Amino acid sequence: MNDLRIDRLRWWHLPAVAEMETAIFGPEAWSEGLLWTELSAGNDYRAVFDGERILGYAGTALNGDELWLNNIAVSAEARRRGVARMLMDDLIARGRAHGVKAVYLEVAVDNVPAQRLYDGYGFVGLGVRKNYYQHTGTDAAVMRMDL
């Protein structure tokens, strides 16, 4: 993990990302087709690379002065090595550069490690979306961080 870099996610990375999605999120994983749609829509997806290998990725959608964190994931073998923080620092810096006033996200209520990450960045809970994750019926906490 000496040669880590953040770069834009490209269409040719999508098979590896979809495989990672399945491994991490199971039935709630985004398909390669949905990821393709996200890129085609102009949403910004970044990945942390170790050489050519993707260790983690995050996608955002810019809407005026709001930035939505659509998804963020880190491969099991790269966790607890700062990859999520690299992605968060990058997306926050890019948001500030675009004049973003707030970052929003939804996170599964049972995903405690992710919630701890977001708490550390100053996100606050706004509410809960019941049965947000369709395949599992898991609720999602809606969070916001002001920039």
Q: What three-state secondary structure class fits 1?
A: coil
On whether the CB atoms of residues 76 and 126 are closer than 8 A, the answer is no
pLDDT at 134: 87
Overall average pLDDT of the 33-61 stretch: 96
pLDDT of 126 > 80? The answer is yes
* Confidence band for 104, pLDDT divided at 50, 70 and 90: very high
Predicted confidence band of residue 3 (pLDDT cuts 50, 70, 90):
confident
Active site residues: 106, 118
Q: Which string of DSSP letters, residue by residue, matches 35-74?
A: HHHHHHTT-EEEEEEETTEEEEEEEEEEETTEEEEEEEEE
pLDDT score for 32:
95
Residue 1 has pLDDT above 70, yes or no: no
Whether the per-residue pLDDT at 105 is higher than 70: the answer is yes
Average pLDDT estimate for 51-64:
95
Q: Which fold has domain 4-146?
A: Aminopeptidase (3.40.630)
Which of the pair, 47 or 134, is modelled with greater confidence?
A: 47
pLDDT in tens, 24-45: 999 999 999 999 999 999 999 9
